[in-house]
Amino acid sequence: MTENTLYITGAGVSAESGIPTFRGSDGFWTIGSINYTPQEMATRHMYQNNPEEFLLWYFKRFASYRNVIPNKVHHFLSNKKLITQNVDGLDGKAGNQDYIPIHGRLDKALIYDEMDHLLELTDAPWDEVDELTDGENNDIKIRLLDAFRISKETKKPELGKSLRPFILLFDEYYTDQYRMSEAEFWMRNADHYIFMGTSFSVNITNIALRYAIQNNALIEIVDPEPVDLGIPNIKYHKSKAQDYILDKFS
């Protein structure tokens, strides 16, 4: 039987390109805004009720790594079956044409709707605001509202008209917009799971782990500080993903 390996990656992989992990000391989920925690900011509720702050928060995070290039791990994974939690798009830049960005991609946008049917993705209009990155926040907010088709008068997004970043938010759920059915098909049929750079703090890794256990699959975890899951027969590699692939595949 041919081995069917599925790679599942988290922020630790892109950290090697210089992108902060989400839950580290300088992470995006550790550092919020002046008035809101990240768990409050990265929500559909915030987009609906305070789109200026929501878009500014994401803009400043996207602007901080939009020109980052893929590292050796992304290139190694470019021809692998891959589900990533990362929204940076680096796996696509590395050449993987069929990877599943299960939490979305910050360089893409879609029409604001009720999440009840599939929508076409477009390039997110961050470039329209880029020239103001050194300007005052209020100027940037106005430009962001225009770019995402949100009225500057009402400051409320409109269903079927306004744009939103293609990001799975904390108060949303996995749908086929994020290729969830396809991801589950891959998980059901894998017999070797390799988790890289993830702290197992999001749902998708736990879903994958359940499938791996059901399949009696080989499970490997690659991380400088791997989480001990208390499950027998897991192989832990206490290393960065780049060191792991150099050691195992070079």
Please list, residue by residue across 74-83, b when 16 or more beta carbons sit within 10 angstroms of its beta carbon and e when fewer do: bbbbbeebbb
Taking residues 12-21, what's their average pLDDT? Answer: 88
In the chain, where are the structural domains located? Answer: 1-18+70-103+175-250, 20-67+107-167
Please report which confidence band the pLDDT of residue 2 belongs to, taking 50, 70 and 90 as the band edges.
low
CATH architecture of 1-18+70-103+175-250: 3-Layer(aba) Sandwich (3.40)
d(CA 161, CA 167): 17
- Read off the pLDDT of residues 71-129 as tens digits, 9 standing for 90 and up: 999 999 999 999 999 999 999 999 999 999 999 999 999 999 998 899 999 999 998 88
What is the identity of the amino acid at 246?
Answer: L
E strand or H helix at 234, and its extent?
Answer: strand 234-238
pLDDT per residue over 18-61, tens digit each? 887 655 555 554 444 567 788 889 999 999 999 999 999 999 88
Residue 66 has pLDDT above 90, yes or no: no
Distance separating alpha carbons of residues 87 and 65, to the nearest angstrom: 11
pTM above 0.95, yes or no: no
Average confidence (pLDDT) over 174-186: 98
Count of residues making up the chain: 250
Q: Which of 159, 43, 140 is nearest to 150 (CA)?
A: 159
